[in-house]
Amino acid sequence: MNISAKSLIAPCGMNCGLCLAYLRDKNKCNGCWGNNENKSAACVKCIIKNCALLAETKSMFCYECKKYPCTRLKQLDKRYRTNYKMSMIENLENIRKEGIDKFVEMEKERWICNKCGGTICVHRGYCLKCKKAKD
């Protein structure tokens, strides 16, 4: 598991390395930028990842888009803030301000289990290895 890989940061700011689909043992998803094998239909058809305006950005992140933050990103951000205590827009602003390298380092510190060194799953709120809850 490499939660600090730049290739796991989706255009919306999601760290795919924290996603249950990526962290599970069977039928692992390879993240937004990975192939579509084992991806849910919703992820394959993701409006944000497949947005034509994304191709116009240099970084391939939504924060450079002329429509940022678009309605879909705002909806996703609200759902993740409400259900998982994480903000896509905050992530994107951190990437814009600090750069992708610094962001992935911050993510590693933020989501590593201090009990076993595993990864805290954003969708479960605990480490999938030892079941310790996020502090």
Distance CA(12)–CA(48), nearest Å, equals: 7
Q: In the prediction, which pLDDT does 1 show?
A: 46
Q: In the prediction, which pLDDT does 4 show?
A: 57
Residue at 128 is within a domain: no
Task: Render pLDDT for 59-81 as a digit per residue (tens, 0 to 9).
Answer: 999 999 999 999 999 999 999 99
Residue at 66 is within a domain: yes
109 SS3 class:
helix
Collect the ranges in the chain with pLDDT lower than 70: 1-4
Torsion sign (Cα): 69, 70, 73, 78: positive
Residue at 15 is within a domain: yes
Residue at 86 is within a domain: yes
Distance CA(100)–CA(8), nearest Å, equals: 11
| CB count in 10 Å sphere of residue 109 | 8
Torsion sign (Cα): 48, 54, 18, 106: negative
Residue at 58 is within a domain: yes
Number of domains in the chain: 1
Structural domain range at position 41? 6-111
Residue at 129 is within a domain: no
Residue at 92 is within a domain: yes
Residue at 46 is within a domain: yes
16 SS3 class:
helix
